[in-house]
Structure 1
Amino acid sequence: MIIELSHRITEGMTTYPGIPGPVLGTHLSREDSREVYAEGTEFHIGTITLTANTGTYLDTPYHRYAEGPDLSQLPIERMADLPGLVVRAEGRPSVGLDLLRELDVRGRAVLLHTGWDRHFGTDAYLRDHPYLEPEAAAWLAEQGAALVGIDSLNIDATPPKGERPAHTLLLAAGIPLVEHLTGLARLPVSGFRFHAAPPMIAGLGTFPVRAYAVVRAA
């Protein structure tokens, strides 16, 4: 079974305060294409102006560190076909080490299920969101998690001039992050493979992904 874990990208949507929403356009309309192709044949070619941090997206180390691997350099095995592990943290203001220390996270995509995705698209989503505590981020880095994701506004708390310790610690360890996930409630705690690979774009550190999980039959 395949479970969708991404938000739809729609024109003008807000993912993070201050980041402009995407703008959709048309390079070649169906009507104009009729003059280019044979009778009865038509195509649509669209355009999009998009900030890289839109919708459900992946952060590479380059997002935080100028010398870190960008979207074109991060190995595909760090983003696709990863054994997954869900950490249940609904109703908590943050994800702490107490929820993690008994888990085997090495080589796994660790997905933090806070339930905050229920607010996506509303003002409530943009403030007082759950996040990963610095000590927990350090532990995940030390234990060798392959990827860390969250269904919240940001993996860090977001004061205006915050230090962003989870980004700093995890991306320094080469661990990509996926933010704004959704649908984690539908996943089992384990027994699934996680995929969230963006295009290979040189010089960018973040980009939207079609995140999903493949759950093995019971």
Structure 2
Amino acid sequence: MSNWGRWGPEDEAGTLNLLNPESVLGAVRTVRQGRVVSLAQPIGPSTSVPPHRHAPRRFMDRDAGDYALGARSPDGFRFAEDTITLASHSSTHLDALAHAWTGDELYNGHPAASLRSTRGASRCGADKLRPIVTRGVLLDLVAANGGPLQQSTPVTATDLETACKRIEVVIGAADAVLVRTGWWETHRGAHEYHDNEPGLTDDAAAWLTERDIALVGADNYAIEVQPSPPGTTFPAHITLLHQHGIPMLENLDLAELGAAAASTFLFVAAPLLLQGSTASPLNPVAVL
């Protein structure tokens, strides 16, 4: 089972194709308070990253020190500017469909050879993602469990089904499903955050694909349980990204949303159109 060919042979957006005026209008109707909650983790030079990624860096191109050393200040005007470098998968980010695959083909049969260091991802990259306005659903496993999940706790399809029944919500087409494990709240900024996280099993990923969701996110670094089961490597990434074209929103901060006891809400996120990149950092928000 997959979504290959569902939106034509040239499709590179996957389940973001499910977003339409009707889903937007339906999502807007969930707003009751007008309260806006950021779901992003902070990002900066102190941001913790896994060993294979470059840490974010900031370079000041102009600051107050330049004026202290005699830089020109026409009519008293002064300004500051900076340059940042960061991995596209830094902090809160949305995985593009070029991020993970098996064999020689990306999502929808696009050739894996389209990924090259000279040009990046010419197929299924971050520039093929779209602005997202849809209904968000929070599956709060911290509330259901009475506290954050312990390391390497598998979140199964049964767990997701139970979480839906607890809040009396039926997940539907085009929903953005966010899973709160409490992992970020427990290991905020610590090295352990990138090891042995609780998260989705592959059967939970398959359960989500059956509901035709637009995207899935979680408050951990890979969404799925780590380490992967024996004989597999990031199987939920393959099920979600590669087979079904479902973008994955990693490294969320869902503590405030959980404290608000918000089950459904207006979810808004605008990926940066980074040409050739395999992910986009972003600041998703929930409007309650």
Asked if these proteins are the same fold (TM beyond 0.5), I'd say yes
**TM-score, normalization: structure 2?**
0.67
Report which stretch shifted further, 91-100 or 126-135.
Answer: 91-100
Q: Which residue of 2 aligns with 1:164?
A: 234
| Distance of aligned partners of 1:105 and 1:95 in 2 relative to their CA distance in 1, 3 Å threshold | farther
> Corresponding residue for 1:131?
199
Runs of at least 4 residues of structure 1 off by over 6 A? Answer: none
Q: Distance in 1 between matches of 2:260 and 2:126?
A: 27
One of 21, 26, 43 as aligned partner of 2:79: 43
Mean CA deviation greater in 25-34 or 141-150: 25-34
1:98 matched to 2:158: yes
Counterpart among 67, 70, 88 of residue 140 in structure 2: 88
Distance 2:80 2:140 in 1: 43
Report the alpha carbon displacement of residue 130 of structure 1 after superposing the two structures with TM: 0.9
* TM-score under structure 1 length normalisation: 0.86
Identify unmatched segments of 5+ residues in structure 2: 1-34, 111-122, 143-147, 165-169
- Report SS of the residue matched to 1:81: strand
Question: What is the aligned-residue identity percentage?
Answer: 30
Give a deviation string over 1:60-106, Cα, whole Å, max 9, x none. Answer: 10112553521111222xxx222011112234412211133463232
Q: Distance in 2 between matches of 1:187 and 1:111?
A: 14
Q: 1:169 to 1:22 in 2, by over 3 A?
A: same
Task: After superposing the two structures, state which structure 1 stretch, 103-112 or 61-70, moved more.
Answer: 61-70
Tell me the SS of whatever aligns to 2:75: coil
Letter in 2 for 1:151: D
Mapping for residues 39-188 of structure 1, pairs under 5 Å:
39-65=75-101, 66=106, 67=110, 68-76=123-131, 80-90=132-142, 91-92=148-149, 93-101=153-161, 103-118=170-185, 119-159=187-227, 162-172=232-242, 173-182=244-253, 183=255, 184-188=257-261
- Matched residue of 1:39: which SS? helix
**Quick check: 148-157 or 108-117, which moved more?**
148-157
- Inter-CA distance 9–106: structure 2 relative to 1 (3 Å threshold): same
* Range with bigger deviation, 8-17 or 81-90: 8-17
Asked if the contact 2:198–2:226 (Cα under 8 Å) also holds between the matched residues in 1, the reply is no
RMSD, aligned CA? 2.3
TM-aligned CA distance change 1:48 to 1:162, over 3 Å: farther
Across the two proteins, how many residue pairs are aligned to each other?
A: 212
TM-fit CA distance, 1:32:
4.2
Secondary structure, counterpart of 2:277 in structure 1 = coil
Deviations 1:32-56 (A, max 9, x none): 4785663221111101121111111
CA contact (8 A) 1:85 1:105 kept: no
- Answer whether contact 1:15 1:53 (CA < 8 A) is retained: no
Does the C-alpha gap of structure 1 residues 58 and 13 become closer, same or farther in structure 2, counting only changes over 3 Å? Answer: same
Pair 1:187–1:203, CA change in 2 (3 A): farther
Listed as ranges, the gaps of 5+ residues in structure 1 are: none
Deviation at 1:209, TM superposition (A): 1.0
Q: CA deviation at 1:20?
A: 2.5
Task: Give the letter for the 1:51 counterpart.
Answer: A
Pairing 1:206–2:279 present:
yes
